[in-house]
């Protein structure tokens, strides 16, 4: 994790202005009433009508909003102002009122936080957390029934790892994924249940409507500026990588998404 952070800081061509997700927040909007999302379906099977869930790193509410339609309350923890704004707007648009949206970073520094939810959820959050022990300690203290994670076998930040040597003349310092996370939970003494989700939900996240969309994601993943001198090189590298299927574009090396559930009590 430290190697990945140091690499990103070294190759970064522009600052994110303190909110990395500001230019991307609208891309994380999703219909709370959608169907055919394997990850959401799996979470719905866990949810009970009177549950309180805490969604740590809730983003624009991709999961928090539909979960709020199924449970008593969702506590949405999100430090990004841009993501919180999108979530709040979607709440209003869809009339969803049982979300407690909080501007906090995890782990919370409030020692009184304990037993506040039935289920604690993270979705593609745990890849780059260097102090993961304290993060999980607080997560487990919050959840009275179980903790749940959605993770890919490798971090989404690694989705254009094949292009790194072409652009930066070095290999990408990749982050750990679901397998390493499960190993960590076992080492911490947790009882773990993990299952792979169907591929359909992976394509929803890693598919692109047009090559320019893939190009923009690649530029951000490789920390290039909008006016980078390396953009022509990146454009060609991305074009060589993409595969077109039925009018959409995807990467050839698709990750596997895992649903990970664990208990420590």
3-state secondary structure of 229: coil
Average pLDDT for the chain? 88
* Pure H helices in the chain: 2-11, 38-46, 64-68, 81-94, 132-142, 164-168, 178-187, 199-206, 211-221, 231-241
Tokens of 95: 């009339």
* Positive or negative: CA dihedral 232, 233, 236, 238: negative
Determine the pLDDT at residue 217. Answer: 86
Q: Encode pLDDT of 138-187 as tens digits.
A: 999 999 999 999 999 888 778 888 899 999 999 999 889 999 999 999 99
Residue 16: pLDDT band (50, 70, 90) is low
Give me the domains of the chain, ranges plus CATH numbers: 2-198+255-263 (3.40.50.150)
Among 10, 59, 57, CA closest to 30: 59
Asked if the bond preceding 107 is cis, omega within 30° of 0, the reply is yes
What does the alpha-carbon distance between residue 196 and residue 182 come to, in Å, rounded to a whole number?
A: 13
Q: Encode pLDDT of 209-237 as tens digits.
A: 889 989 988 998 898 999 999 999 999 99
What does the alpha-carbon distance between residue 201 and residue 224 come to, in Å, rounded to a whole number?
A: 28
DSSP state of 115: S
What does the alpha-carbon distance between residue 208 and residue 247 come to, in Å, rounded to a whole number?
A: 9
Among 160, 165, 171, CA closest to 208: 160
What is the reported pTM? 0.86
Residue 18: pLDDT band (50, 70, 90) is low
What does the alpha-carbon distance between residue 143 and residue 49 come to, in Å, rounded to a whole number?
A: 16
Per DSSP, the residues of 57-114 read T-TTTTTHHHHHTTSSEEEEE---HHHHHHHHHHHHHHT---EEEE---SS-S-TT--
Residue 252 predicted with pLDDT over 90: no
The average pLDDT across 122-151 equals 94
């Amino acid at each position: 994790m430290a190697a990945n952070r140091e690499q990103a800081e070294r190759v970064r061509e522009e600052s994110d202005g303190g909110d990395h997700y500001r230019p991307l927040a609208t891309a994380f909007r999703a219909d709370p009433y959608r169907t055919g999302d394997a990850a959401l379906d799996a979470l719905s099977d866990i949810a009970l009508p009177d549950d309180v869930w805490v969604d740590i790193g809730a983003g624009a509410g991709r999961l928090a909003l539909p979960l709020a339609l199924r449970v008593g309350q969702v506590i949405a923890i999100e430090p990004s102002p841009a993501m919180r704004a999108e979530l709040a707007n979607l709440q209003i648009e869809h009339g969803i009122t049982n979300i407690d949206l909080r501007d906090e970073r995890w782990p919370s520094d409030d020692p009184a936080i304990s037993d506040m939810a039935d289920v604690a959820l993270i979705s593609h959050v745990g890849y780059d957390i260097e102090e993961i022990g304290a993060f999980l300690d607080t997560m487990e203290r919050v959840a009275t029934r179980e903790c749940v994670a959605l993770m890919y076998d490798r971090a989404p930040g690694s989705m254009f790892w094949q292009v790194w040597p072409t652009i930066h003349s070095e290999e990408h310092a990749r982050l750990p994924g679901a397998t390493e996370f499960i190993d960590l939970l076992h080492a911490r003494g947790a009882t773990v249940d993990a299952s792979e989700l169907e591929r359909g939900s992976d394509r929803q996240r890693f598919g692109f409507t047009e090559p320019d969309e893939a190009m923009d994601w690649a530029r951000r993943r490789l920390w290039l500026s909008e006016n980078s001198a390396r953009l022509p090189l990146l454009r060609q590298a991305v074009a060589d990588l993409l595969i077109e299927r039925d009018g959409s574009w995807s990467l050839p090396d698709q990750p596997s998404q895992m649903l990970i559930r664990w208990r420590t009590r």
